[in-house]
Amino acid sequence: MRDGRVVLVRMAGMAMAIAMLGTVPALAQVPGTKLKDGAVVPDMSGIWERIEGIRFNPAGQLPPYNAEYRRRYDQAMEARSRGERVADPTSSCLPQGMPRFMVASYPLEFLQTKGQVTIIAEWSSQVRRIFTDGRGHPPADEIDITFNGHSIGHWEGQVLVVDTTGIRGDTSFDASPMTHSDQLTVSERIYLKDPKTLVAELTVTDPGAFTAPWKVVRTYRRGGPDARIMEYVCEENNREIFLPGQNQPKP
């Protein structure tokens, strides 16, 4: 009798768990899946090549810097114009991190699987995992501070909406000396403009360095039949490890 009650309680618990599972939003991310709102998950899987150059903002403008970060940028540009090397973290093979990841120096590969959209960057074989299983970010005081941050996403119609936090303060935008603070977060709207054109609208927010959010739009063309992701191991033969005063390649 007692055992029977335990079984009943367990069965009730399982039923509740199953019912709760049904409320997890848009778990299935495989292209073609019909979402609750009737939208069909678009097929972004495959290889994408940047259309613009490797400056983070193809439109060219600087971020809306506050006075302190504008001063830092101007100082670095002055040093560069004097011929000094200005540290770019990637010179010592550190990852590009977010948001530079989305510059796609080399092509990106999108994978859409259940509960996750994965973006692989050829540059240093970096990976972004965008969790679309309904989870939130870890608490702000617990989240790991990483190069690519912690990304969660959901579909709004045909648009993949992504929010990324937990980004290190020393990631880069591009090879220029633009910097940011450790308060930087990125929100993205990623969608297909047509089957061969992917758009990422990035809104970069940084209360420590910017006076307003910075919106940057980047576009990518679908790789052709010969497109492939190549290996790229930056540490293989890097003669450019940046150290102040060390100014030439080793013979």
What does the binding site for other proteins look like in residue numbers (CB under 8 A)?
A: 53-55, 60, 77, 80-81, 83-86, 88, 90-91, 93, 105-106, 122-123, 174-176, 230-234, 236-240, 242, 247-251
- Beta 214-222 vs 46-50: how paired, if at all? antiparallel
Q: Pairing between strand 150-156 and 197-205? A: unpaired
- Closer Cβ to other proteins, 17 or 230, answer by number: 230
Minimum Å distance from CB 215 to other proteins? Answer: 19
Cβ-based nearer residue to other proteins, 113 or 246: 246
| Helix spans in 103-168 (H) | none
Distance in Å, CB of 168 to other proteins, minimum: 19
- Shortest distance, position 21 Cβ to other proteins, whole Å: 42
Rounded to 5 degrees, φ, ψ at 28 are: -80, 120
Structure tokens given for 198: 């992917």
For residue 142, what are its two tokens?
Answer: 């617990």
50 or 150: whose CB is closer to other proteins? 50
Q: How far is the CB of 40 from other proteins (least distance, A)?
A: 33
Q: Where are the beta strands (DSSP E) in 80-227?
A: 108-113, 116-121, 126-131, 150-156, 159-165, 185-194, 197-205, 214-222
- State the virtual CA torsion across 59, 64, 67, 73 in degrees, nearest 10: -30
Minimum CB separation of residue 247 from other proteins in Å reads: 6
Minimum Å gap between C-beta 251 and other proteins is 5
Residue 55 or 137 with smaller CB distance to other proteins: 55
Cβ-based nearer residue to other proteins, 70 or 85: 85
Burial class (CB in 10 A: 0-12, 13-18, 19+), 28: middle
Q: Are strands 214-222 and 126-131 parallel, antiparallel or unpaired?
A: unpaired
**Nearest to other proteins of 136, 251 (CB atom):** 251
